[in-house]
Amino acid sequence: MKKLSNILLASLFMLVLSVSSVSAGGNIEDGKEKSAVCASCHGFDGISPAAIYPHIGGQYADYLLHSLRGYKSGERQNIIMQGMVMALSDDDLKDLAAYYASLPGVLKEGAPKP
């Protein structure tokens, strides 16, 4: 019985973790619409076509949101990214983070290889 409850508890934890890591409070469909400008560097599927830009598809939404907020505040220094996020609202950043987190990414099974 204890083993079954541990399995159920672990499954519940994984479900909560997967939901929070995908959304970050954003809307995936809205993020997809807003991502058009991002695709030139990060690819339409979040897999960058050039080695100088990071792959962001499948990354944790919370990490992406933290990074985007860092660029906007100036805490993270990158002139290109700072220019890209300056006009975006926090909801825009959440939507973008949710969208890119929803993609397969290079580390997930079945994902496209760069």
- CATH, residue 44: 1.10.760.10
pLDDT above 60 for 108: no
Specify if 109 maps to a domain: no
Q: Is the dihedral of CA 106, 83, 66, 76 positive or negative?
A: positive
The residue type of 113 is K
pLDDT above 80 for 17: no
Q: SS3 of 35, please?
A: helix
Q: How far apart are CA 86 and CA 55, in angstroms?
A: 21
Query: Among candidates 73, 77, 60, 75, which has minimal Cα distance to 26?
Result: 60
Domain range spanning residue 45? 2-102
- Whole-model pTM: value is 0.75
Specify if 57 maps to a domain: yes
Higher pLDDT, 97 or 9: 97
Answer for the pair 100, 56: CB distance below 8 angstroms, yes or no.
yes
* pLDDT, tens digit, 9 for 90 and up, residues 37-87: 999 999 999 999 999 999 999 999 999 999 999 999 999 999 999 999 999
Average pLDDT over all residues of the chain: 83
pLDDT above 70 for 10: no
Specify if 107 maps to a domain: no
